[in-house]
Structures are given as C-alpha cells and as structure tokens.
A = this chain, B = another copy of it.
Amino acid sequence: MQLLKTKILEEGQALSDNILKVDSFLNHRMDPVLMHEMGKEFKRRFQDEKIDVVLTIESSGIGPGVMAALELEVPMIFARKRKSVTLTDDLVTANVYSFTKKEANEIAISNKFINSGDRVLIIDDFLANGQAALGLMEICHKVNATVVGIGIVIEKAFQDGGEKLREQGVRVESLARIEALSLGEITFVEEREGAIHE
C-alpha cells in the first residue's frame, strides 16, 4: 500500500536493526484518514472471502481493526491482555509471549462473541515473531471458528512470524513489508501491490 509506505518513509524512525517507531501515525498518535484507507485496502484484499467478524488485540490493533470492520460491515472484537472486572462470562484464552516487553500475557475474549463456524479475519498493527497472531488463531481454533486470513499493517519480514503463519497455510496480507531496518534506514520488500498472499 503505497500511501502507507510513503508515510512510513516520511515519519517512521528506524531506531535500530529491529525497532521501527511509528507512533506519529499508527500506535500512539493515529492518522484516522490513513487508517480508514487501510480499512478499505484490507477489504479489497479479502474481498473474495466471506467474513463474519474481525478479531484484533488491544491497544494498537483497535484502530486498524475497527476501520477494516467498518468497511467489511461486520463486528470487531478486541482481545484483552488481562481480565477486566466486567468481563465476567466464560473466557476463551491463549498465552502470548511478548519479545518486546519480555513478558507473557494471557489474552482473552468472551466466549459469546465468536461462534463455531464463524469466519474470522485477524487484524493487527505489527507482525514480527507472530506471537500475537498465533494467540489470536489459538482462540479461534478453541471455538471452532475458521481463520480466513490475517491482515497486518506493517510486517517485519526479516523476522520469522510471517513465515511461521504462511507455513501453516494461513493467508497473510501485509500492507507494508519491511525487508530490513538499520539506524535511520528503512528498506521495503520489493513486490507487486497485493501479491503477497500464497
């Protein structure tokens, strides 16, 4: 998605060979117009799929997730990273290890909102080692829902998450795929727009 790549080049900061800071438009300050365009692009990429619900994870997935859901005209659910006081019903959970924060979190959704047979599109802001996406897939499998695909805003293609997911036969659509980072430099994977999925 060219609009996103341009924004990443203009405002993204490569702080090391691993860390890309995009807090000016994606995961702290949000550019809602760009986010709406991302939602349209996710819809375009998954237009041949029947989708019942979008599943994402708090907090940074909510913006892209709700815009994708708006365009797809389906509900969106965000998994919580810890149990909330008012989330008292039966929960469906998975464990997710965050390499960034070096801690394990339980993620959970209420078992009311994704049903057996539902066709789920998972959306997240970043794909690196794939732990969050795998946790969201685990939740879907626990309730016998089908993961239609995974839509990612920025994939760090130099980490193995994308490969792990695609090896499982999951369709992964990333709006921008980064081949390499180094201090102050961002290189994208060269590709034809929309030709990522397998």
Instruction: Decide yes or no: A28 and B110 within 8 Å by CB, A63-B66, A86-B100 being known contacts.
Output: yes
Stretch at the interface among A76-84, A154-162, A164-172: A76-84
Asked if A31 and B75 make an inter-chain contact with CB atoms under 8 angstroms apart, the answer reads yes
CB distance from A27 to the nearest CB of B (A): 8
Asked if A21 and B86 make an inter-chain contact with CB atoms under 8 angstroms apart, the answer reads yes
Smallest Cβ-Cβ distance to A114: which chain B residue: B29
* Total chain A interface residues with beta-carbon distance under 8 A: 39
CB distance from A17 to the nearest CB of B (A): 15
A58 interface residue (CB < 8 Å to B): yes
Asked if A75 and B32 make an inter-chain contact with CB atoms under 8 angstroms apart, the answer reads yes
Contact of A29 among B19, B21, B75 (CB under 8 A): B75
What copy number does this chain have within its complex? Answer: 2
Asked if A33 and B100 make an inter-chain contact with CB atoms under 8 angstroms apart, the answer reads no
In residues 1-35 of chain A, which contact B (Cβ within 8 Å)?
A: 15, 19, 21, 23-25, 28-33, 35
A85 interface residue (CB < 8 Å to B): yes
Asked if B73 and A28 make an inter-chain contact with CB atoms under 8 angstroms apart, the answer reads no
Asked if A70 and B32 make an inter-chain contact with CB atoms under 8 angstroms apart, the answer reads yes
In residues 42-101 of chain A, which contact B (Cβ within 8 Å)?
A: 58-59, 62-63, 66-67, 69-70, 73-78, 80, 84-87, 100-101
B residues less than 8 Å from A87 (CB atoms): 23, 28
Q: Which residues of A contact B (CB under 8 A)?
A: 15, 19, 21, 23-25, 28-33, 35-36, 58-59, 62-63, 66-67, 69-70, 73-78, 80, 84-87, 100-101, 109-110, 112-113
Offer 14 A-B interface pairs, CB within 8 angstroms, sorted by A. Answer: A15-B86, A23-B86, A25-B75, A28-B77, A30-B62, A30-B75, A30-B76, A32-B66, A32-B73, A33-B70, A35-B66, A58-B58, A59-B62, A85-B101
